[in-house]
Structure 1
Amino acid sequence: MTVSRRQLGFGIAAISALAALPAAAQTGLSADDQAVLATAQANLQNLTSAQGNFVETGAGGQRRTGRFYLQRPGKMRFEYADPAGLLVVSDGHNVKRYDPRLNVFRQVPLSQTPLSTFLARTVRLDQGVRIDRVTRMQSGAFAITARDNRRPNDGSVILAFAGNPLRLQEWTITDAQGGRTRTQLTTLNAAPNLANSLFQLNDPTRRPGRN
């Protein structure tokens, strides 16, 4: 069953923001702003294999926790602890979502999602994105507000980088209806040699012999 990225629901909303990042050269941005954008791109380019924990707070205040795994190019996995068993997996070709409560499996080609940019071998942040705001803090932390230049009315994303060493700490998506979903990466650690099985998800709803 194939669906749009919007129909994939919470899981894809949580991770699609990673790709909706600003261009490194935008008109109207100061030299300091452009330096911040270059730092964000370099930070994500260096994030090749990692794992950690996340907390996701939905538009209605609902809170979901879980664990994520990343292996570029092409692979990512979000395991939700609440609701237990909810999975969102990119295997390098498709982004798949399985909800065991409803026994529903859905997928969309990776190339048709914003994840294709972030999970590419080389992260390119210089196409099709409009910057609304770059906020810099004295501590060195910064936040970037951006939206898809082709569909500016579809919503926006705020990405926040902080810490020493600097890393992506959270993102907040505002959709076209004004609903906000915040995802906090409570831990983020390098994780070489992740098992390939983490990024494989067959359709659990298919019965043996079913076409």
Structure 2
Amino acid sequence: MFNTRPAVIATIAALSVAAVPSPIAAQATGDLAAVQKHLQSVTTMTADFSQADRNGKVLTGVLTLKKPGKLRFQYEKGVPILIVAEGGALTFIDYSVKQVQRWPIKNSPLGVLLDPSRDITRYAKLVPGYDNRVVSVEANDPKHPEYGRITLVFARDAAAPGGLMLQGWVALDSQNNRTTIRLSKQKFGGPVSDNTFRWNDPRRTR
């Protein structure tokens, strides 16, 4: 998604939920419902993020989310890149070369985070793991593999929306470029102005 190829948050085995014994399958159904509840409960979120590629390069910044459909990745000072979602489109701005790229949010793996009306149980599956404190969910549209896929990673937290705290995600686009995001200092439900998602177009001349 960001033209980067980060390392993976953790090794996740892509096993089908349908293949596990029924008690575990029942737990999987409950966990998937909890993820749905979390996604529907979150109206706004701010968090620090770090983005690491497979070469070990790390970029940091601040993530701001407002539903429906608004997102901003503000990178650290000195990084001439901005990513904003608004108006149904995800926009990638590179100020160093005055380049702007836009594509529909629904065509991005991040669409799962931005549309609270979507039924995640129809296009996502739980990824079994060895740590019961962690819930991982892989989402993709099998009819549109070109949209890529995203694996959301949550930690169980009774104080968080839906009892889950979003820790980050791994996104894989149609070119197999992998983007890994880790979150910290997550805050939910605070006021977020729509002005947060405005941006300056570098292609405009004065």
TM-score class, shorter: 0.7 to 0.9
Name structure 2 gaps, 5 residues minimum: 7-16
The residue number in structure 2 matching 1:134 is: 128
* CA RMSD after TM alignment: 3.0
- From the superposition, tell whether residues 102 and 183 of structure 1 become closer, same or farther in structure 2 (CA, over 3 Å): same
Partner SS, residue 173 of structure 1? strand
Name structure 1 gaps, 5 residues minimum: 1-5, 15-25
Identity of aligned residues (%): 25
- Choose from 151, 157, 162 the match for 1:158: 151
- Choose from 83, 96, 103 the match for 1:108: 103
Per-residue CA shift, 1:102-127, capped at 9, x if unaligned? 22111123343344443124242133
Rounded to whole Å, the distance in 2 between the matches of 1:153 and 1:123 is 19
Task: Give the Å deviation of 1:196.
Answer: 1.4
Q: How does 1:75-90 map to 2 (within 5 A)?
A: 75-81=70-76, 84-90=79-85
Partner SS, residue 84 of structure 1? coil
- From the superposition, tell whether residues 188 and 41 of structure 1 become closer, same or farther in structure 2 (CA, over 3 Å): same
- From the superposition, tell whether residues 136 and 47 of structure 1 become closer, same or farther in structure 2 (CA, over 3 Å): farther
- Retained in 2: the 8 A contact 1:157–1:171? yes
- TM-score normalised over the length of structure 1: 0.73
Q: Which amino acid aligns with 2:168?
A: E
- Retained in 2: the 8 A contact 1:155–1:174? yes
Partner SS, residue 68 of structure 2? coil
- Choose from 151, 169, 172 the match for 1:171: 169
- Retained in 1: the 8 A contact 2:109–2:171? no
Partner SS, residue 204 of structure 1? coil
- Choose from 175, 195, 198 the match for 2:196: 198
Aligned residues: 187
Q: Which amino acid aligns with 1:60?
A: N
Partner SS, residue 38 of structure 1? helix
- TM-score normalised over the length of structure 2: 0.75
